[in-house]
Chains A and B, each alone.
Chain A
Amino acid sequence: MIEFRHVDFSIDGNAILRDVSFSVARGRTTVILGPSGSGKSTILRLLLGLYHPDAGSIFVDGVDVTHINASRWREIRSRMGMVFQQGALFDSMTVGENVGYALLEANGDDEVEVAPAVRHYLELVGLDPYLIDRMPDQLSGGMQRRVAIARALAARDPMILLYDEPTTGLDPQSAERITDLIVQLRDQQGKTAIMVTHDIPDAFKVADAMTILEQGRVVFEGSPDALISVSTPFINQFLAPFRTAMGAASRRFEAATRRGAPPRTDPQRGGTP
C-alpha cells in the first residue's frame, strides 16, 4: 500500500534520509522508531508531499507520487489523515470547526450540517461533544491530540493515518489513551497507519511492523518480535533503557509475588512502590 524505494532527501545540502526503503501493508500499523533527528518525521512529510525527495520513489496504493501534479496530490492526500506533532490544531477555530474543517470546506461552511458528524468523531476519540465550542488552547495536551485525531478521521474517512509523535509531551495516562485509540482504529476500522515515535513502549504497544532509523538510514525493518532478538550495537544501545526498565519491573513483580503479596499501589504516588 505504501512503499519507499531508495529515497534520498536533503535540506540545504544536509542529508536527512539516505537510501530509505521500506513498505507498509494495508490494514497494518508500522512504527518508525529512531532517536531525535534521525529523519522520522521527514518520512511523513514526504508521504504528504510537503517535501519532495532528491532521489528514489514513493508509492501510495501503487501510484508513484514522486512526480505527480498538484491536483493529483490533492487526490492522494484525500486518502490520508495526518496527526501532527503537538496536534497543529487551527488556533483561531473552535474544536468543532477544527474537527469539521474538511467537511466545512466541502459544504461551504454549513456548520449545522456538519455538527452531527463532528459530535460523532469527538465521541469516537473519547471526548465529550460539549467541547465543540471550546478553543484549542482551553484543552489539555492529551485532549488536543485527540481532537487532532478526530480531525484527521473526519477529513474524508481516510484509509491511511499518519501519526507524528502522537504521545510526546503527554502524561502517561493521556499517552495510553492515545495509543489505545490508535490500536482501536486499526482493529475496528482496519486503518493503515504509520506512527513515528521515539517512545519504545508505545511503539511495541501499537506496532505490527517496525522500521528503525539511524542518521537517516533504515537499520531494521521487521516485526516487534524480530526486533527483540536483533543484536547490533545501535539497536542494543537504543533499546537498552527499555530493556532495563522492563527487566527491573519484571524483577520487582517476581519479588513481590515470591513474598506472597501482589504489587501494592501507593495512593500518594499513584504507582507501585
Chain B
Amino acid sequence: MPVIRAILERFRSVVEGVQDLTLFTVETLRALFSRPFYLRETIHQLHFAAIGSLLIVLVSALVAGQALAIQLVRELANSGVKGQLGHFMVISVVRALGPVLVGMVVASRMSAGITAEIGAMRSSDQLDALVAFGTDPIRRLVVPRVIALVIALPALTILGDALAVIGGGWVGLQYHLPIESYYAGVFKFLTPKNLLVGMIKPFAFAVLIAIVACWKGFRSEGGAKGVGVSTTQSVVIASVGILVTDGICTRLIFRLLGW
C-alpha cells in the first residue's frame, strides 16, 4: 500500500506545516507588540512593497478594469441599462476584483522576494548570526515586513481600485456612455459599506502574504534548490490563501452587515 502510505505521509506533513505556521504566526503577533522596533528596516520594506509594486499594480488594475468593463457594457447595453456601468464597476471592482487582483499581484512579487531573501539568509547562516548577536530574527525580519505590507497593500488597493474604475470609464466612453453618467453611478454606489467590504480584505491579505513568505524563508532547507522550492511554495500558498481568505471574509462581512 505505498500509495496510501504516501497519502498519509503527505497529510501528516500538511498538518505539521499548519501547526508550525500557527506557532510562527503567534510568535510574530507577540513580537509585533514588543521592543525593539526596527524603524529603518520597516521603512526600507515599505518602500520595497509600496513603491516597488506600484507600477505593476497600476498597469494590472487599469487593464483588468477595462477588460471587466468591456464584458459588462455589452451585456448592459443588450439589456438597455448601459447607464448602470458605473454601478456595476464599483460593486465588482471595489468589493471583489480590486482587493483580490492587487493582493495576487503583490503576493506574486513580495512572496517570492521575501522568501528568497530570508531563505538565502538561512542557507548562509545569517539567521543564526542574528541569533548569535542577540537579535530576535522574528522582530528584525518578520515584523517590519508584516507592518510594511499592512500599510502598503490597502494603499495599493485604493489606487488599483481607482485605476480600474477609471479604465471602466474609458471603455464606457468608447460605447458612447457619457462620462458624467458613468461617474454619477460610481459615486452613488461608493458607499461606506461597499468600501468597508473592499478595504478589510487587504489587511488580511497583507498579514497572510508576509507571514507565509517569512515562514517559508525561515524553514527553507537544502541550499539554492531548497530556496527555490520554498519560494514556489510561498507564492502558491499565498495565492490560494488569498482566494480562500477572500471567500471567508466576504461571507463574514456580508453576515455582519446583514446582507
**Footprint of B on A, CB under 8 Å?**
45, 48-50, 74, 77-78, 80, 82, 84-86, 88-92, 101-102, 105, 109, 155
Distance of A109 Cα from B42 Cα, bound (Å): 13
- Is the CB–CB distance between A84 and B133 below 8 Å? no
Q: Which of B128, B129, B131, B135 contacts A105 (CB 8 A)?
A: B135
Contacts of A88 in B (CB 8 A): 124-126, 128-129
Main SS at interface, chain B: helix
A-B contact pairs, 16 of them (CB 8 A): A50-B128, A74-B134, A77-B133, A82-B129, A82-B132, A88-B124, A88-B125, A88-B126, A90-B121, A91-B121, A92-B117, A102-B133, A102-B134, A105-B36, A105-B133, A105-B135
Contacts of B36 in A (CB 8 A): 105
Distance of A82 Cα from B124 Cα, bound (Å): 14
B106-150 residues at the A interface, CB under 8 angstroms: 117, 120-121, 124-126, 128-129, 131-135
**Which A residue's beta carbon lies closest to that of B130?**
A90
Q: Is B40 part of the binding interface, using a Cβ–Cβ cutoff of 8 Å?
A: yes
Report the minimum CB–CB distance from A94 to chain B (whole Å). 13
**Other contacts beyond A48-B132, A50-B128: 15, CB < 8 A:** A48-B131, A74-B134, A77-B131, A77-B133, A77-B134, A80-B132, A82-B132, A84-B128, A84-B132, A85-B125, A86-B125, A88-B125, A88-B128, A90-B121, A90-B129
Distance of A50 Cα from B137 Cα, bound (Å): 12
- Is the CB–CB distance between B124 and A91 below 8 Å? yes
Contacts of A86 in B (CB 8 A): 124-125
**Which A residue's beta carbon lies closest to that of B117?**
A92
Report the minimum CB–CB distance from A248 to chain B (whole Å). 36
Distance of A170 Cα from B15 Cα, bound (Å): 44
**Which A residue's beta carbon lies closest to that of B131?**
A50
- Is the CB–CB distance between A109 and B128 below 8 Å? no
**Footprint of A on B, CB under 8 Å?**
36, 40, 117, 120-121, 124-126, 128-129, 131-135
Distance of A48 Cα from B129 Cα, bound (Å): 10
Distance of A92 Cα from B140 Cα, bound (Å): 13
Report the minimum CB–CB distance from A77 to chain B (whole Å). 6
Contacts of A89 in B (CB 8 A): 126
Distance of A48 Cα from B124 Cα, bound (Å): 17
**Which B residue's beta carbon lies closest to that of A164?**
B125
- Is the CB–CB distance between A84 and B40 below 8 Å? no
- Is the CB–CB distance between B125 and A77 below 8 Å? no
Distance of A149 Cα from B189 Cα, bound (Å): 63
Which of B40, B121, B124, B134 has the most chain A CB atoms inside 10 A of its CB? Answer: B134
Contacts of B121 in A (CB 8 A): 90-91
Distance of A223 Cα from B187 Cα, bound (Å): 84
Contacts of B131 in A (CB 8 A): 48-50, 77
Q: Which of B120, B125, B134, B135 contacts A84 (CB 8 A)?
A: B125
Report the minimum CB–CB distance from B23 to chain A (whole Å). 15
Contacts of B117 in A (CB 8 A): 92
**Which A residue's beta carbon lies closest to that of B140?**
A105
- Is the CB–CB distance between A78 and B134 below 8 Å? yes
Contacts of B128 in A (CB 8 A): 45, 48, 50, 84, 88
Contacts of B125 in A (CB 8 A): 84-86, 88
Report the minimum CB–CB distance from A86 to chain B (whole Å). 7
Distance of A59 Cα from B133 Cα, bound (Å): 19
Distance of A219 Cα from B219 Cα, bound (Å): 34
Report the minimum CB–CB distance from A87 to chain B (whole Å). 9
**Which B residue's beta carbon lies closest to that of A148?**
B129
Which of B120, B133, B135 has the most chain A CB atoms inside 10 A of its CB? Answer: B133
Report the minimum CB–CB distance from A145 to chain B (whole Å). 13
Contacts of A102 in B (CB 8 A): 133-134
